Amino acid sequence: MNEKQRKEQAQIKQVSSVDRKSSQDKPLSEKTTEDFAHYFQTTYTPPDIKKARKRGRDKIEVHYDFEIPEEMSKIGKGKKFLIRTYGCQMNEHDTEVMAGILSEMGYESTLDTDDADIILLNTCAIRENAENKVFGELGHLKPLKLEKPDLIIGVCGCMSQQESVVNRIMQKHQQVDLIFGTHNIHRLPDLIKEAMFSKVQVVEVWSKEGDIIENLPKVRHGQIKAWVNIMYGCDKFCTYCIVPMTRGKERSRRPEDIIREVRHLAAQGYQEVTLLGQNVNAYGKDFDDIEYRFADLMNDMHKIDIPRVRFTTSHPRDFDDHLIEVLAKGGNLLDHIHLPVQSGSSEILRKMNRKYTRESYLELVAKIKKAIPNVTLTTDIIVGFPNETDEQFEETMTLMEEVGFEAAYTFIYSPREGTPAAVKKDDVPMEVKKERLYRLNDLVNKQSAESMDAYEGKVVKVLVEGESKKDETVLAGYTEKNKVVNFKGPKSIIGKIVDVKITDTKTWSLNGELVEKTAEVSN
Ligand code: SAH
Ligand code: SF4
Ligand code: F3S
């Protein structure tokens, strides 16, 4: 089919639904053009925050019965897939699940676009530039699709949860065969079948979150560190953030399933797990049958024989005393906490709906430092929130110093349609926002460099991950506090935790020498 025919046929696109309920009403094959009419509108309906805020505590069911339909289990034999991942660790981990599903369908992975039979873009909607990258990539893929009409191009992840994006792709990017949302990943085999055989654009985006499906296959990236989802979604509704709309409401995996997964990883020789969630310390709040929270989970992690346990991201609001007490036990619970503050101004924090103040954040930091004296704190900061004044920005600068963050991800505020902050008039010019970001970044670099300098001559424990990206005669790994260390050593120590003496420090990394025995160990 040529491009023109494709376009014509796209007028009767098959869309399973943006709404799970109506998708269940009618099988796809029985749908008429009218059923898809809402997709042809050019006006954009933003994600409905009011509806999302009211979402109730519908019972989330946990399923253990995922299987690849028989007819799809060999369909990928001799074929290859490529998944490009944008955004956060949640997406990285979803990619591992999709790679698992595709592998069970017989596909092999490739890094070469020309070689791929399926290309999936697992997208991020957090800031405008994240979205622009994806639209740029779709443009690059267009000639390939024209050359290889059987190639399946799919868009999934957080961007596809937004109706505006779906509309834009349907209208302007006919090279895309398949669009599916973050709650539809387990439907991948059926969706690929649909995309393969119907040869028309297939869209399936459930606006309502799905249940938890436990036994999805995964192909993990590497055998040293692993991600483990402990919860999905976010109910915090920070006024700038799209995530509560793209990922649905908070829902926690059952403790026994998480513990089993981590034990299994430990038995396979993994050295480190990172527990994942948009705010992991809200874990368990949605359980109505058991009193089991994040602190309890970390306490159970502490008992598992795996050398390193990390978590991301924790929200200051749910960081309770019990959690601090458990983390202070140390052992495999590392003394690095990523605790996004977003702003140092209480007024801006109020406008962001963060539900804490500068003062209460500092109190929390003081409590953490008292319980874990050697703790390393890192953070996320947004500059240029609508109408942020110079004084308010200065408060962010002073907070940065006062806490002594050793690293920070810093962002210029990006309005996201459908979020409350996006409709606010904003009197701060972009030039001023950029200026603030540069100043903040200078401070972040300075604090990071200072924290690195303190390691000179010290011995640190490094989990060796592989060869350095820049020089294959050099090995690279991470300390317990997540600092990159480069040093020379035999390849046989890749995947092990070794002692390295730091000889030289840079702003964002450390150089060192492998040591056999150490007198003094610093993390
Ligand atoms: N759940 C985590 C963070 C998720 S998003 C938390 O609450 O800490 C990662 C970071 O992206 C956020 O911490 C925030 O700093 C940034 N971010 C989110 N929305 C943004 C927006 N609209 N503009 C700029 N940065 C944003
Ligand atoms: Fe977004 Fe706030 Fe939820 Fe983090 S806690 S994902 S910033 S709404
Ligand atoms: Fe982006 Fe979605 Fe993660 S918006 S930051 S990929 S949850």
Going along the chain from its start, the domains and CATH numbers come out as: 44-204 (3.40.50.12160), 217-453 (3.80.30.20), 459-514 (2.40.50.140)
- Please report the pLDDT score of residue 199 as a whole number: 67
Place of tokens 């890094």: 111
Q: Kindly state the tokens that stand for 317.
A: 């609001």
501 Cα–ligand 1 center, Å: 36
Q: Which of 278, 318, 380 to mutate to test the pocket of ligand 2 (most atoms within 8 A of CB)?
A: 278
Would you say the CB of residue 276 lies under 6 angstroms from ligand 3? no
Count CB atoms within 10 A of the CB of residue 517: 6
Would you say the CB of residue 315 lies under 6 angstroms from ligand 2? yes
241 Cα–ligand 3 center, Å: 10
- List all residues 6 or more positions away from 179 whose beta carbon is below 8 Å from its beta carbon: 154, 155, 156, 160, 166, 169, 170, 201, 202, 203, 204, 205
234 is in an annotated binding site: yes
- Please report the pLDDT score of residue 104 as a whole number: 96
Place of tokens 């649909």: 194
Nearest CA to ligand 1 atom 4: 278
Nearest CA to ligand 1 atom 19: 241
Please check whether residue 271 is in contact with residue 230, taking contact to mean a CB–CB distance below 8 angstroms. no
Q: Which of 279, 353, 379 to mutate to test the pocket of ligand 2 (most atoms within 8 A of CB)?
A: 279
Nearest CA to 209 out of 189, 181, 228, 237 is that of 181
Ligand nearest the Cα atom of residue 386: 1
- Please report the pLDDT score of residue 296 as a whole number: 98
156 is in an annotated binding site: no
Q: Which of 241, 294, 410 to mutate to test the pocket of ligand 1 (most atoms within 8 A of CB)?
A: 241
476 Cα–ligand 1 center, Å: 28
Q: Atom of ligand 2 at shortest distance to CA of 247?
A: 6
Strand partners, 203: 15, 179
Q: Checking DSSP bridges between strand 376-383 and strand 225-229, what pairing results, if any?
A: unpaired
Please check whether residue 372 is in contact with residue 336, taking contact to mean a CB–CB distance below 8 angstroms. no
Q: Atom of ligand 1 at shortest distance to CA of 419?
A: 22
Would you say the CB of residue 226 lies under 6 angstroms from ligand 3? no
d(CA 207, CA 48): 10
- Please report the pLDDT score of residue 47 as a whole number: 56
Can you give the pLDDT of all 523 residues of the chain as single tens digits?
A: 444 444 333 332 333 333 333 333 443 334 333 443 333 332 334 456 667 777 766 678 899 989 999 888 899 999 999 999 999 999 999 999 999 999 999 999 999 999 999 999 999 999 999 999 999 999 999 999 999 999 999 999 999 999 899 999 999 999 999 999 999 999 999 999 999 987 678 999 987 777 899 999 999 999 999 999 999 999 999 999 999 999 999 999 999 999 999 999 999 999 999 999 999 999 999 999 999 999 999 999 999 999 999 999 999 999 999 999 999 999 999 999 999 999 999 999 999 999 999 999 999 999 999 999 999 999 999 999 999 999 999 999 999 999 999 999 999 999 999 999 999 999 999 999 999 999 999 999 999 999 999 999 999 999 999 998 888 889 999 999 999 999 999 999 999 999 999 999 999 999 999 997 544 444 5
Pocket, ligand 1, Cβ cutoff 6 A: 126-127, 240-241, 243, 278-279, 313, 315, 340, 342, 380, 382, 411, 413-414, 416
- Residue type (1 letter), 429: P
d(CA 136, CA 248): 27
Would you say the CB of residue 124 lies under 6 angstroms from ligand 3? yes
238 is in an annotated binding site: yes
Would you say the CB of residue 238 lies under 6 angstroms from ligand 2? yes
Q: Atom of ligand 3 at shortest distance to CA of 182?
A: 2
H/E run at residue 403: helix 390-403
Nearest CA to 496 out of 280, 229, 223, 233 is that of 223
Helices (H), 3-109: 3-10, 20-25, 49-54, 89-104
- List all residues 6 or more positions away from 509 whose beta carbon is below 8 Å from its beta carbon: 452, 483, 484, 485, 486
Distances 465 to 320, 456, 468, 471 between C-alpha atoms, Å: 33, 22, 9, 14
Q: Atom of ligand 1 at shortest distance to CA of 278?
A: 1
